[in-house]
Structure 1
Amino acid sequence: MAAILLGVAAFGSLAQEQSDQVALSAGGVSYVSGGVGTASIDRLDSLAADFNLKLVFALKAGDYVSGVKVTISDAVGKTLLDTTSQGPWLLARLPAGNYQIVASFAGNAERRTVTIGSEKLRTVDFRWASQAPR
């Protein structure tokens, strides 16, 4: 039984690592999320040059958070991306333009309006007061 549990834990870790390594696509937007652990952070850092938007999710106290629901809409309100982050970082490649980003964590939504250029990486931080009550 212990061997099975160990195998499941190892597979879960591998699945998380693989999700950091492959850019996904939705609504014409390429994106990848992760950043849990040093290897994942290093991998996302190596991919950052291929993206023009980086979202960072944390508590105001400084702790990073994951499982953040992210919606990115264009200037006319069309939803281009609707996903849940697999870590405290989400990288995306968007066409140059203006976007509304909504990031929700522990029942609290934070909104940002951003202008994205075609090449330079734009970093947008989202910070929440605290985690959900336990």
Structure 2
Amino acid sequence: MSKTTIETIKIIDIPKIEDTRGNLSVIEKNTIPFKIKRVYYLYDVPSTAYRGGHAHKEQLELLVALSGSFEVKLSDGVKQISIMLNKPNKGLLIPTGIWRELENFSSGSVCLVLSSDVFDKNDYIYDFKEFMRFKSLK
């Protein structure tokens, strides 16, 4: 049974160094609460499409809107929230056992995902009914 709830989701401040030549943000080992084992990014997502539609049993993820914006809909099986990501110095930390869907991508948006583990298809829950069973919230 997964005890994570909507309240365990956090927005992480990514350090920003401001300069007249442009800003720089840095993600280091102390910025996020897990060791990064996989990095990927979503781009060229049509504004009418959505990504995600799953939860993880063990993996943690940090989502960052490097460019543009997109909406992240989250559910713990009881409560739902929606968070708009649109700043490259803010990251959305999603713990295990949280359902996520990404939609409403703006033109040119890029979503960076930092993961606590390598890809493992057995860690994914793609069916919401199975997710509810995993959460033991029938």
Q: Do these two structures clear the TM 0.5 threshold for a shared fold by scoring above it? A: no
Q: Which has the higher helix share?
A: 1
Q: Determine which structure has greater relative contact order: mean sequence separation of CA pairs < 8 Å that are 6+ residues apart, divided by chain length.
A: 2
TM-score, normalised via structure 1 length: 0.37
TM-score, normalised via structure 2 length: 0.36
